[in-house]
Amino acid sequence: MQCTPDLEEDDCLKCLSVATNVIHNCCSRERKLSGISMSTNCYFWYAHHIFLPKTSLLISTPSPQT
Protein backbone atom coordinates (compact mmCIF):
# COMPACT_ATOMS: atom_id res chain seq x y z
CA MET A 1 0.00 0.00 0.00
CA GLN A 2 1.14 3.48 -0.71
CA CYS A 3 -0.20 7.00 -0.98
CA THR A 4 1.09 9.91 -3.00
CA PRO A 5 3.24 12.32 -0.96
CA ASP A 6 0.72 15.17 -1.30
CA LEU A 7 -1.92 13.42 0.85
CA GLU A 8 -2.34 14.24 4.51
CA GLU A 9 -2.17 11.22 6.84
CA ASP A 10 -5.93 11.10 7.48
CA ASP A 11 -6.75 11.26 3.77
CA CYS A 12 -4.16 8.57 3.05
CA LEU A 13 -5.67 6.27 5.67
CA LYS A 14 -9.16 6.81 4.21
CA CYS A 15 -7.91 6.09 0.69
CA LEU A 16 -6.09 2.93 1.79
CA SER A 17 -9.16 1.80 3.73
CA VAL A 18 -11.27 2.04 0.56
CA ALA A 19 -8.56 0.22 -1.42
CA THR A 20 -8.39 -2.51 1.22
CA ASN A 21 -12.16 -3.00 1.04
CA VAL A 22 -12.02 -3.19 -2.76
CA ILE A 23 -9.34 -5.89 -2.61
CA HIS A 24 -11.23 -7.78 0.08
CA ASN A 25 -14.49 -7.71 -1.87
CA CYS A 26 -12.81 -8.60 -5.14
CA CYS A 27 -10.21 -11.13 -4.26
CA SER A 28 -10.75 -12.86 -0.93
CA ARG A 29 -14.19 -14.23 -1.71
CA GLU A 30 -13.08 -15.71 -5.00
CA ARG A 31 -9.75 -16.83 -3.53
CA LYS A 32 -7.74 -14.97 -6.14
CA LEU A 33 -4.01 -14.95 -5.66
CA SER A 34 -3.49 -11.30 -6.50
CA GLY A 35 -5.23 -8.01 -7.05
CA ILE A 36 -4.59 -4.30 -7.45
CA SER A 37 -6.72 -1.36 -6.38
CA MET A 38 -5.58 1.98 -7.79
CA SER A 39 -6.93 5.48 -7.37
CA THR A 40 -5.51 8.92 -8.06
CA ASN A 41 -3.80 9.16 -4.68
CA CYS A 42 -3.19 5.63 -3.43
CA TYR A 43 -2.78 2.06 -4.48
CA PHE A 44 -2.95 -1.33 -2.86
CA TRP A 45 -1.29 -4.36 -4.39
CA TYR A 46 -1.97 -7.82 -3.02
CA ALA A 47 -0.17 -10.95 -4.12
CA HIS A 48 0.06 -14.34 -2.50
CA HIS A 49 3.02 -16.32 -3.76
CA ILE A 50 4.84 -19.27 -2.28
CA PHE A 51 8.46 -18.31 -2.71
CA LEU A 52 10.14 -20.99 -0.63
CA PRO A 53 10.07 -24.68 -1.42
CA LYS A 54 8.28 -26.75 1.20
CA THR A 55 11.52 -28.49 2.16
CA SER A 56 13.10 -25.19 3.21
CA LEU A 57 10.42 -24.74 5.86
CA LEU A 58 11.88 -27.57 7.90
CA ILE A 59 14.10 -26.38 10.68
CA SER A 60 16.84 -28.63 11.90
CA THR A 61 18.07 -28.35 15.44
CA PRO A 62 21.69 -29.00 16.26
CA SER A 63 22.41 -32.12 18.22
CA PRO A 64 23.76 -31.55 21.74
CA GLN A 65 27.50 -31.81 22.12
CA THR A 66 28.79 -34.33 24.61
Report if residue 24 sits inside a domain. Answer: yes
Cα separation of 16 and 66, whole Å? 56
Cα separation of 3 and 10, whole Å? 11
Report if residue 15 sits inside a domain. Answer: yes
Report if residue 11 sits inside a domain. Answer: yes
Report if residue 43 sits inside a domain. Answer: yes
Query: What are the 10-residue block averages of pLDDT along the chain, 66 residues in total?
Result: 93 92 76 80 80 58 60
Domain span at 10: 2-49
Report if residue 13 sits inside a domain. Answer: yes
Report if residue 54 sits inside a domain. Answer: no
Number of domains in the chain: 1
Close Cβ partners of 44 (under 8 Å, ≥ 6 residues apart): 1, 16, 19, 20, 22, 23, 36, 37
Report if residue 56 sits inside a domain. Answer: no
pTM (2 d.p.): 0.61
Report if residue 40 sits inside a domain. Answer: yes
Q: What's the burial of 14, exposed, middle or buried (CB within 10 Å: 0-12/13-18/19+)?
A: middle
